[in-house]
Amino acid sequence: MSIAVECGIMETLLNGHVHLEVTAHPAPSRTTRPRTALIAAPEHHPDELFLPPRLILDDMLRAQKIEARLSGLVLSGPTLRRICDVFHREVEAGLRQEPSSLLMENTYVPELPDGTEEGLFLALDLGGTNFRVLLLELHNGVLVREDVKQYHISDELRLAPAEDLFNYLADCVLDFVTSEGMEKEELSLGFTFSFPMKMHSISSGELTTWTKSFKCGGMEGVDVAALLQRCLHERNLRVTVRVLLNDTTGTLVAGAHTNHDVGIGMILGTGSNGCYMERAERVQHWEAEHSRVRDVCVNVEWGAFGDNGCIDFVRTDIDREVDARSLLATSFTFEKYIGGKYLGEVLRASLAALAREGLFPAEPVNLVTADISAIEEDWVEGGTARTLRVLRQSLAKDADVSLTLSDAIVAQHVARLISTRAAQLVAVCVATLLRRIARPHVSVAVDGSVYKRHPRIRHLMPRYIARLAPNHPFTLFDAEDGSGKGSALTAAIAARIAAREN
């Protein structure tokens, strides 16, 4: 599914159609009655279109107090444009290798698929609780075979020494190629390692920091691809790691396989990140010959945007509480506003803040992003049953609390604020990159569970992007398995370039 925006300005309110319901009272007459009519809304100031709907409760004082307490979660048009300006400055600084909260890492991927990719490739995908091994066969750029096997990464392994984790990954590869009857064959491999890295070449890089639920020791100064290569050789596998990339780069490459207008790749799932095609001369960090390279994929790592305090003006006490309770406190600030790992916790902390001020019946114990999606879906459909069920399940088992319809409406309002803010902040990043690329049209390849499963975010994003980047037409579309197919396609690109140079 794709969402295209061919103009810069949307003239309807972002959270529904605008209309006024008016009761007209003509001069008294025995033959006329008051009548209700729909008339066009008056013109709204453009900045009003960034704001979410107001909270409406029978208890108007409670509604006002709730809105005041959560006002920090509401981002105005001027605030969003200010964030755009800061993001642009951080992008420029990162590209120049000056202090910046954005890594702006050169991926050394200089080309995108062109339909000539050929051969048999392995792909590994590590980035969450599951690890996948894939075998893909390409003929004239067309995928003609795809075999996939999934393996579980235990909680213990995600916190164990890195050697243990990579030995397990190599064991999974051995199991997979044995099941395919290919354990004696020479194979090229693309490794999607979905964590921030300092890249030295298309097949070499060091971990910068673990994210999500991983925190393995012993990775300081270690080449990720070389460590995997050693573990594979120890199992006598004739597999060569040709490409090291993250899932965002893989998403851009996989998207470009089907859409040649692609200039941006984006993940909005457990975590969030973006990458884009930048002019090579703007990139300062090169450790390889690049005189013939015109464009190169740059990995932004926008999950860390603001780690240096540059956007603390949008940070609330709720965000500080979420950060303090996280596995990686004081880092990946931006991801904690938008990532699926954290949106449920932002909702929990928000409702808890209201409860402490007597504006909500009790503090929830636990909420996850799937709960936000359920509450939002309930609101979209005009119901409250799922919302009340989610709230009851979130409370302590011994909590003696009676939840009302008004409580459900409050929870829906809070979820709406959090979802809207997430969509706005992602839109800031995409809009800034669109203005930077400045093509007649740019397609944005998107992957991730929040984008695909949240009932509203995928529809809010293009509206905010269009307002923040007017006159920059774009299309958002679902990329299929960027972290798997993307790594295999990138390995095929590397093979094509190597053959051409030889």
pLDDT tens digits along 29-86: 333 333 333 333 345 556 667 788 899 999 999 999 999 999 999 999 999 999 999 9
In a domain, 375, yes or no: yes
Average pLDDT over residues 242-268: 94
In whole angstroms, give the CA distance from residue 160 to residue 401: 41
Q: Which residue type sits at 4?
A: A
Helix or strand holding residue 345 (H, E): helix 343-356
In this structure, the answer to whether residues 90 and 122 fall within a common structural domain is: no
In this structure, the answer to whether residues 246 and 344 fall within a common structural domain is: no
Q: Which residue in 125, 212, 323, 378 is the catalytic one? A: 212
Residue 145, domain extent: 107-258+480-497
Q: Which residue type sits at 30?
A: R
In a domain, 220, yes or no: yes
Average pLDDT over residues 234-244: 95
In a domain, 454, yes or no: yes
- Phi and psi at residue 4, to the nearest 5°: -105, 140
pLDDT (0 to 100) of residue 13 = 33
What 3 state SS string does 109-148 have? CCCCCCCCCCEEEEEEEECCCEEEEEEEEEECCEEEEEEE
Is the four-CA dihedral 226, 230, 235, 240 of positive or negative sign?
positive
DSSP 3-state assignment of 100?
coil
In a domain, 33, yes or no: no
Least confident of 44-58, 101-115, 212-226, 324-338: 44-58
Q: How confident is the model at residue 2 (pLDDT cuts 50, 70, 90)?
A: low
In this structure, the answer to whether residues 206 and 146 fall within a common structural domain is: yes
Given a cut of 50, is residue 10 above it in pLDDT? no
pLDDT (0 to 100) of residue 465 = 97
Q: Which residue in 247, 295, 407, 447 is the catalytic one? A: 247
Q: How confident is the model at residue 3 (pLDDT cuts 50, 70, 90)?
A: low
In this structure, the answer to whether residues 455 and 313 fall within a common structural domain is: yes
Looking at mean pLDDT, say which of 326-340, 349-363, 475-489 comes out highest.
349-363
In this structure, the answer to whether residues 352 and 404 fall within a common structural domain is: yes
Helix, strand, coil shares of the chain as percentages rounded to 5?
40, 20, 40
In a domain, 57, yes or no: yes
pLDDT cut 70: percent of the chain above it: 90
Q: How confident is the model at residue 17 (pLDDT cuts 50, 70, 90)?
A: very low
pLDDT (0 to 100) of residue 124 = 94
What 3 state SS string does 28-63 have? CCCCCCCEEEEECCCCCCHHHHHCCCCCCCCCHHHH
CATH number at residue 83: 3.40.367.20
pLDDT (0 to 100) of residue 293 = 87
In this structure, the answer to whether residues 70 and 124 fall within a common structural domain is: no
In whole angstroms, give the CA distance from residue 18 to residue 51: 13
In this structure, the answer to whether residues 468 and 484 fall within a common structural domain is: no
CATH number at residue 142: 3.30.420.40
Given a cut of 90, is residue 212 above it in pLDDT? no
The number of distinct structural domains making up the chain is 2
212 is catalytic: yes
In this structure, the answer to whether residues 180 and 316 fall within a common structural domain is: no
In this structure, the answer to whether residues 455 and 339 fall within a common structural domain is: yes
In a domain, 323, yes or no: yes
Q: What is the mean pLDDT of the chain?
A: 88
pLDDT (0 to 100) of residue 27 = 36
Q: Report how far apart, in Å, the C-alpha atoms of 192 and of each of 103, 127, 263, 277, 349 are.
A: 18, 8, 20, 18, 33
In this structure, the answer to whether residues 451 and 401 fall within a common structural domain is: yes
In this structure, the answer to whether residues 386 and 463 fall within a common structural domain is: yes
In whole angstroms, give the CA distance from residue 196 to residue 303: 10
The pair of structure tokens assigned to 58 is 């029978």
pLDDT (0 to 100) of residue 45 = 59
pLDDT (0 to 100) of residue 28 = 36
CB contact at 8 A, 51 and 74: yes
Given a cut of 80, is residue 4 above it in pLDDT? no
Instruction: Of 48, 54, 18, 17, give the one whose Cα is nearest residue 410.
Output: 54
In a domain, 29, yes or no: no
In this structure, the answer to whether residues 322 and 429 fall within a common structural domain is: yes
In whole angstroms, give the CA distance from residue 20 to residue 40: 7
Least confident of 359-373, 401-415, 480-494: 480-494
In a domain, 301, yes or no: no
Average pLDDT over residues 131-153: 92
Given a cut of 50, is residue 141 above it in pLDDT? yes
